[in-house]
Chains A and B, each alone.
Chain A
C-alpha cells in the first residue's frame, strides 16, 4: 500500500522527457496513466528510482482519422476511446475493446500507449492492435522509429522498446472501405483480467475476405496472433465452413495455461467459440461502411 521513494519529474516536452530517460537509464519508468505501474509500486514489485511523468507533455493525446487510417496518441485514455465515434464501424474491434478494459474509473486514467508498453499478456489492447496490424511510433535519443505491434511484444511484460524510448503514437492502417471487427472478452467480473479475449478484424473486398486479423488475449506468454487462421481466411467468403476452420486454427494457435480461470482445454475452446462468434459478427457487419 505504500510505495518506496523515488525522484519525480514532470517534463513538458518530449525532449525533456527523453533526456531524463537517457540520464536514468533502466532506473527510470515513464508514468502515463499509472494504472498498471502504480499498483506494482504499491506492492513494491516495482521500485523505480525515478518516475518521468509525461502527462504534461503536449501533443500526445490526439485521436483522429487521417486518410482512412487512425492516429492514436500514446496518452489517449481508454475512456476517450470508449466514447469515440471513430472507433466504430471499420475500427469496431477497437470500439468493442475499449469499454471492456479494466473498469470505468481506471479507464479514465489508463492510456493506450501505456497499456502497450506494459505488455501484459492479459492486456486487451495488445491483441486488438495486432489484429488491426497497427504500428507504434517510438521516440529515442537517435530519433523516432516505427515498430509493428506484431513485433513489439517479446515476452511477458517485455517489449522491443529501449529504456530510453518513449512510445508517442499508435497508427492503425486503413482497412479499406469495407471492414468490421469485434473484441470478445470472457472475464469473471468487471475489472478482472481476461480469461480469454479474441480480437477479430476483417477487411472485405468484393464480398470476400481481403485480409483478416485475429489477436488472442490471456492464452500465451504474450498477446498472440492466430496466423494460420488469418491465412486460411484470406480470400474466403467468410461462410460457416471458413469460419469454423478459422476458429479451429485459432484455438490451435493459443498456448493457454491451466489455472483457476480454467483448464488449457477450456481456454482453447473459448478461443474457438469467440473466434467463431467474432467472425460471424464481422460477416454480418460487412456492409457497414
Chain B
C-alpha cells in the first residue's frame, strides 16, 4: 500500500497490481494517475523521465508487455494485471544489459535524460529485428527525441548492441 496525497470527496481511486521489472507492485491510486507518475512517484522508480506534455518526445518510454509505449499517455489503471519494464529492469544480477554497455561504449548519451527511453525502444527493436540497418534503427527510434547527441552515436550504440547480442547467442 502506498501513501495517498490528501484527498477530497471527488477523488476516484482503484486498486491496481502491476508487475514492474518482474515484481508485483500493488497500490490504491487515482484513476487519472498517468503510468509515468505511478512509476516515478508511487513506486519511486525515477529512471523514466518526463520531457513534454504532448506525447511528442518519448522520454517516458517503457515496455508494456514487452512493447514500447509512452507511459505519459497510458493511465496506470490500464496497466493493472500487465507487465511493465523500465530502465531499472534492464540490468540483471549478472550485469548490465548489452544495450547499456553499448551506449556507454559508443558515447550514445550526454545528459542522459532521453537515454532510458532510447534504450528500451532499442531493446524492443533488436528483439524483433536482430540485425537492423542504419535506416531501420533511425526509423524505430523516430519516436524518441534527443537534444544532445545528434543521434549518430545512438545508432552506433544500437549496432554495437546488435553485434553483442548476436555473439551471445
Residues of chain B lying within 8 A (CB to CB) of residue A102:
143
Residue of A1, A104, A108 near B142 (CB, 8 A) is: A104
Pairwise interchain contact A105-B70, C-beta atoms closer than 8 A: yes
Residues of chain B lying within 8 A (CB to CB) of residue A35:
55, 73
Interface membership of A53, Cβ < 8 A: yes
Residue of B nearest to A39 (CB): B55
Residue of B10, B14, B31, B70 near A106 (CB, 8 A) is: B70
Chain A residues bordering chain B, tally (CB within 8 A): 30
Interface membership of B149, Cβ < 8 A: no
Residue of A nearest to B139 (CB): A104
Known pairs A35-B73, A42-B53; A108 contacts B31 (CB<8 A): no
Contacting residues of chain A (217-272) with chain B, CB-CB under 8 angstroms: none
- In the assembly, what is the distance between CA of A84 and CA of B10, in Å? 45
Residues of chain B lying within 8 A (CB to CB) of residue A108:
67-69
Known pairs A105-B70, A105-B143; A8 contacts B53 (CB<8 A): no
Pairwise interchain contact A8-B73, C-beta atoms closer than 8 A: no
Known pairs A1-B53, A38-B55, A53-B78; A105 contacts B69 (CB<8 A): yes
A52 to chain B, nearest CB (A): 12
Residues of chain B lying within 8 A (CB to CB) of residue A27:
none
Residue of B30, B61, B75, B80 near A105 (CB, 8 A) is: B61
Pairwise interchain contact A104-B143, C-beta atoms closer than 8 A: yes
- In the assembly, what is the distance between CA of A106 and CA of B73, in Å? 9
- In the assembly, what is the distance between CA of A43 and CA of B54, in Å? 8
Pairwise interchain contact A5-B73, C-beta atoms closer than 8 A: no
Residues of chain B lying within 8 A (CB to CB) of residue A31:
78
- In the assembly, what is the distance between CA of A55 and CA of B141, in Å? 26
Interface membership of B11, Cβ < 8 A: yes
Interface membership of B98, Cβ < 8 A: no
Residues of chain B lying within 8 A (CB to CB) of residue A6:
12, 31-32
Residues of chain A lying within 8 A (CB to CB) of residue B85:
none
- In the assembly, what is the distance between CA of A102 and CA of B75, in Å? 20
Pairwise interchain contact A103-B142, C-beta atoms closer than 8 A: yes
Interface membership of A190, Cβ < 8 A: yes
- In the assembly, what is the distance between CA of A108 and CA of B141, in Å? 13
Residue of A7, A43, A55 near B12 (CB, 8 A) is: A7
Interface membership of A163, Cβ < 8 A: no
- In the assembly, what is the distance between CA of A33 and CA of B121, in Å? 18
Interface membership of A11, Cβ < 8 A: no
Contact with A along B1-42 (1 / 0, CB 8 A): 000000000111010000000000000001110100000000
Interface membership of B56, Cβ < 8 A: yes
Residues of chain A lying within 8 A (CB to CB) of residue B32:
2-6
- In the assembly, what is the distance between CA of A94 and CA of B110, in Å? 39
Pairwise interchain contact A38-B73, C-beta atoms closer than 8 A: yes
- In the assembly, what is the distance between CA of A251 and CA of B29, in Å? 52
Pairwise interchain contact B54-A39, C-beta atoms closer than 8 A: yes
- In the assembly, what is the distance between CA of A99 and CA of B67, in Å? 16
Pairwise interchain contact B30-A39, C-beta atoms closer than 8 A: no
- In the assembly, what is the distance between CA of A79 and CA of B50, in Å? 24
Pairwise interchain contact B53-A109, C-beta atoms closer than 8 A: no
- In the assembly, what is the distance between CA of A39 and CA of B10, in Å? 22
Residues of chain B lying within 8 A (CB to CB) of residue A109:
69-70, 73-74
Contacting residues of chain A (45-101) with chain B, CB-CB under 8 angstroms: 51, 53, 55, 79, 99
List 26 A-B pairs, Cβ < 8 Å.
A3-B32, A5-B12, A5-B31, A6-B31, A7-B31, A8-B12, A8-B75, A8-B77, A10-B78, A34-B74, A34-B78, A38-B75, A42-B53, A42-B73, A43-B54, A51-B75, A53-B77, A55-B78, A103-B142, A104-B139, A105-B69, A105-B121, A105-B143, A106-B143, A109-B73, A109-B74
Query: Which 8 residue pairs of A and B lie closest in terms of their CB atoms, listed nearest first?
Result: A103-B143, A105-B143, A8-B31, A190-B142, A1-B53, A3-B32, A38-B73, A39-B55
Q: Supply 5 further A-B pairs (C-beta < 8 A) apart from A1-B72, A34-B73.
A: A3-B32, A39-B73, A79-B67, A105-B70, A191-B143
